[in-house]
Chain A
């Protein structure tokens, strides 16, 4: 991998400078195509309700689920709508899941004066033992009970349940299935080692300079200014850098200035202005050397609802002079050297984390892939644009690399599907807390973390490490 190639030449660091300077050419961009067109919004109209996106989602995914149901429970399984259900007859129903949660923050409860409630403080998880699952199709809804894990599932998932309706009007579930992995894409990967660096959560403008040194080390490794010739030749194989969201820190979002009087806040600047200047300088260093894709995240200056639109290029005047800088949407889908990348800045996964009993980010990422939808909780608990024609978050093709940013720690897994799909699932950790980035090898879909650390406050003679 990266370090094994570099290690034999490490003693080059202690040798006198060579007579001729060695140059390493970065691997050229062979094939790149940005496939995020469904996530770009042109004219935006908010005068619509969200019923359209749910209807489009159900209509689009219904045939896929009926096919899966027939594969799982036999060709003769009776697929019924809720209005056609007979009591006691075993049948399969396809619909949208709704989870009635007691602790879910409800704006109506908060502003209702008769309850006189103090707004609920944000909790890490909103699950409660009394949550119920309800299946809705186009016309009716029915409560689910039986062999179904209520705590694990979230609102907005399309699934097929097999069971029968009881006398009390509830549906007794014996088995259920999801859309499963979508159809595979042909493999057109490179034959030699090529790396893509995934970083997320740079967290600039946080007020603490701990991760700034690590960020600079990262930029130096990628631009080949760090290490001996072995390290530099390995860095030349990095063909792309993807910044997966949260380039600015949450501290830049403080809205204290709104509550203060005007005369106190006249000369203050938003914290994000300074942070954007820092980001511009960092991106300038990166863009002179390697193509960079910048995805916006939860705390970045772009719209709040998914899909987040690219940052505006006028905020990055120095870096946007280079054509290697690409400002892209969140979620982001692209073909890099024949490998399909699909990923988000982590809002979808962290939202499911809040409303489900699943604790592991990698498990949630895998679950969204198996459920066939990038973020089923949009628009219920995650802001979403009111699409009406189609739901662009439905997974129609299986990506080769599926990542999510701003995870608590680095995890990766190679998932193999029944139809020959191979997906590398990567949870990219937040760089500001973990100082770790991910290197994905496009030749064999393997992934390794690369972490940076500087001088610690405790030890006097700490080393600067670039750990692999």
Chain B
């Protein structure tokens, strides 16, 4: 859809983080929506890691919702795992391995409710 050219088109449009809340649940893959990123050229680095499979994300979500390890909002999943370990609650080790393997993936590191403010 061609919009008439505006003077503000010379500045890149940036979407901010307060997007619709339901978005995250539908996405299975770990990539963010390409529209949302500011128009900068993608950094040419090593190829991105393999996206985590749905079963892994499901296990992480179950770890978030398990009440034994305390509240999950406001801290990363790894911080919650470390805290559970320090308090002697023996959290499952596969969760930590998955968190360390996909450390650069925000859908893996942050908790289920990360997009919500507090």
Stretch at the interface among B1-9, B31-39, B46-54, B83-91: B83-91
Interface 0/1 of A57-86, CB less than 8 Å to B: 001100000000000000000000000000
User: Which chain A positions have C-beta within 8 A of B73?
Assistant: 48-49, 51
Size band of the interface chain B makes with A = 10 to 19
Is B74 in the interface zone, CB < 8 Å from A? yes
Q: Which of B38-77 contact A (CB under 8 A)?
A: 67-68, 70-71, 73-75
CB distance from B14 to the nearest CB of A (A): 21
Q: Is the CB of B75 within 8 A of A52?
A: yes
A389 to B89, CA, bound (A): 13
User: Which chain A positions have C-beta within 8 A of B74?
Assistant: 47-49, 52, 388
Q: Is the CB of A55 within 8 A of B86?
A: no
A49 to B70, CA, bound (A): 12
Checking A48, A49, A60 against B87 with a beta-carbon cut-off of 8 angstroms, the contacting residue is A60
User: Which chain A positions have C-beta within 8 A of B83?
Assistant: 56, 388-390
Q: Is the CB of A56 within 8 A of B118?
A: no
User: Which chain B positions have C-beta within 8 A of A47?
Assistant: 74, 118
A48 to B83, CA, bound (A): 15
Q: Is the CB of B67 within 8 A of A139?
A: yes
User: Which chain A positions have C-beta within 8 A of B70?
Assistant: 51-52, 55-56, 59
Q: Is the CB of A49 within 8 A of B79?
A: no
Task: List the A residue with the shortest CB-CB distance to B73.
Answer: A49
21 A-B pairs in the complex with CB atoms less than 8 angstroms apart: A47-B118, A48-B74, A48-B118, A49-B71, A49-B73, A52-B70, A52-B71, A52-B75, A55-B71, A56-B70, A56-B87, A59-B70, A59-B87, A139-B67, A388-B74, A388-B75, A388-B83, A389-B82, A389-B83, A389-B86, A390-B87
* Chain A residues proximal to chain B, CB less than 8 Å: 47-49, 51-52, 55-56, 59-60, 138-139, 388-390
* Chain B residues proximal to chain A, CB less than 8 Å: 67-68, 70-71, 73-75, 79, 82-83, 86-87, 89, 118
